[in-house]
Protein backbone atom coordinates (compact mmCIF):
# COMPACT_ATOMS: atom_id res chain seq x y z
CA UNK A 1 0.00 0.00 0.00
CA UNK A 2 1.33 3.40 -0.93
CA UNK A 3 1.97 5.60 2.08
CA UNK A 4 0.33 8.94 1.55
CA UNK A 5 2.77 11.79 1.92
CA UNK A 6 2.31 14.51 4.47
CA UNK A 7 2.52 18.30 4.40
CA UNK A 8 5.23 19.72 6.64
CA UNK A 9 4.95 23.11 8.32
CA UNK A 10 7.69 25.01 10.12
CA UNK A 11 6.02 27.54 12.42
CA UNK A 12 8.18 30.15 14.15
CA UNK A 13 5.55 32.78 14.99
CA UNK A 14 3.53 33.01 18.22
CA UNK A 15 -0.26 32.47 18.31
CA UNK A 16 -2.58 35.09 16.76
CA UNK A 17 0.05 36.39 14.36
CA UNK A 18 -1.45 36.42 10.86
CA UNK A 19 1.21 33.93 9.74
CA UNK A 20 0.34 31.49 12.53
CA UNK A 21 -3.33 31.67 11.67
CA UNK A 22 -2.60 31.06 8.00
CA UNK A 23 -0.41 28.11 8.99
CA UNK A 24 -3.18 26.59 11.10
CA UNK A 25 -5.73 27.00 8.29
CA UNK A 26 -3.48 25.26 5.75
CA UNK A 27 -2.64 22.51 8.24
CA UNK A 28 -6.34 21.95 8.93
CA UNK A 29 -6.94 21.55 5.18
CA UNK A 30 -4.05 19.16 4.71
CA UNK A 31 -5.54 15.96 6.09
CA UNK A 32 -2.02 14.82 6.95
CA UNK A 33 0.09 17.54 8.50
CA UNK A 34 3.21 17.60 10.60
CA UNK A 35 3.90 20.91 12.33
CA UNK A 36 7.38 21.71 13.56
CA UNK A 37 7.45 24.44 16.19
CA UNK A 38 10.68 26.41 16.53
CA UNK A 39 11.51 29.83 17.96
CA UNK A 40 8.43 31.71 19.12
CA UNK A 41 6.34 29.01 17.43
CA UNK A 42 6.56 26.95 20.63
CA UNK A 43 4.18 29.42 22.30
CA UNK A 44 1.44 27.81 20.21
CA UNK A 45 1.53 24.93 22.71
CA UNK A 46 -0.12 27.26 25.24
CA UNK A 47 -3.13 27.65 22.96
CA UNK A 48 -3.58 23.98 22.20
CA UNK A 49 -2.07 23.55 18.73
CA UNK A 50 -1.43 19.87 19.55
CA UNK A 51 -5.18 19.28 19.62
CA UNK A 52 -5.62 19.94 15.89
CA UNK A 53 -7.04 16.81 14.22
CA UNK A 54 -4.80 14.91 11.80
CA UNK A 55 -1.75 16.91 12.86
CA UNK A 56 1.44 15.69 14.47
CA UNK A 57 3.21 18.37 16.44
CA UNK A 58 6.98 18.50 17.00
CA UNK A 59 8.70 21.09 19.15
CA UNK A 60 12.31 22.22 19.47
CA UNK A 61 13.77 21.37 22.87
CA UNK A 62 16.08 24.38 23.20
CA UNK A 63 13.31 26.77 22.25
CA UNK A 64 10.97 25.19 24.81
CA UNK A 65 13.59 25.52 27.54
CA UNK A 66 14.43 29.13 26.74
CA UNK A 67 10.76 30.08 26.86
CA UNK A 68 9.86 27.81 29.79
CA UNK A 69 7.12 26.06 27.82
CA UNK A 70 6.09 22.48 28.62
CA UNK A 71 5.29 20.09 25.80
CA UNK A 72 2.36 17.83 26.62
CA UNK A 73 2.13 14.11 25.89
CA UNK A 74 0.86 14.54 22.37
CA UNK A 75 3.91 16.59 21.36
CA UNK A 76 7.14 15.04 20.09
CA UNK A 77 10.36 16.67 21.26
CA UNK A 78 13.10 15.14 19.10
CA UNK A 79 16.74 14.82 20.15
CA UNK A 80 17.75 16.50 16.93
CA UNK A 81 14.88 18.72 15.86
CA UNK A 82 16.54 20.26 12.84
CA UNK A 83 17.83 16.98 11.40
CA UNK A 84 14.39 15.41 11.73
CA UNK A 85 12.76 18.40 10.09
CA UNK A 86 15.23 18.39 7.20
CA UNK A 87 14.79 14.65 6.68
CA UNK A 88 11.02 15.12 6.61
CA UNK A 89 10.94 17.96 4.13
CA UNK A 90 13.60 16.49 1.84
CA UNK A 91 12.36 12.90 1.79
CA UNK A 92 8.88 12.41 3.16
CA UNK A 93 6.73 15.36 2.28
CA UNK A 94 4.22 16.42 -0.32
CA UNK A 95 4.56 20.12 0.37
CA UNK A 96 6.63 22.21 2.80
CA UNK A 97 5.58 25.55 4.23
CA UNK A 98 7.38 27.97 6.52
CA UNK A 99 5.55 30.55 8.57
Partner 1 sequence: MKTLTIVLTDGPYISEYAEIAYKLAEAALKKYKVNIFLYLDAVHIPKKGQYPAFFINAGQLFSELAGKGAVVRACARCAGARGYLPEKEIIQESNCKDYFPGIRITSLYELSEMLSMSDRVISLSR
Partner 2 sequence: MKSVFYLLDTAPYGSEKAFGALNAAAVSLNEMDVTLGLYGDGVYLAIVGQDSRKLGLPNLGDILYAYGELRVLAHEPSLVERGLFGQTLIETIELADEEDFFEAMESSTYVIAF
Backbone angles phi, psi at 10, to 5 degrees: -105, 115
Alpha-carbon span 50 to 74, nearest angstrom: 6
Q: Most distant CA pair in the chain: distance in Å?
A: 42
The residues, any chain, with a CB within 8 Å of residue 86's CB and separated by 6 or more, are none
In the bound state with partner 2, the residue whose beta carbon lies nearer, of 1 and 4, is 4
- Report what 43 binds from partner 2, partner 1, none; CB cut-off 5-8 Å by kind: partner 2
Residues in the interface with partner 2 (CB under 8 A) total 30
In the bound state with partner 1, the residue whose beta carbon lies nearer, of 57 and 99, is 99
Give the full edge-to-edge strand order of the sheet including 75-76. Answer: 75-76, 55-59, 33-37, 6-11, 93-98
Per CB under 8 A, the list member of 54, 62, 80, 87 interacting with partner 2 is 62
In the bound state with partner 2, the residue whose beta carbon lies nearer, of 1 and 68, is 68
Which positions touch partner 2 (CB under 8 A)?
12-19, 22, 25-26, 29, 39-40, 43, 46-48, 61-63, 65-69, 95, 97-99
Amino acid sequence: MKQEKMDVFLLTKPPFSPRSELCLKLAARSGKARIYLAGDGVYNLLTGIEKLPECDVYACKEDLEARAIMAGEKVTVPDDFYSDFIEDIMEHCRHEYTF
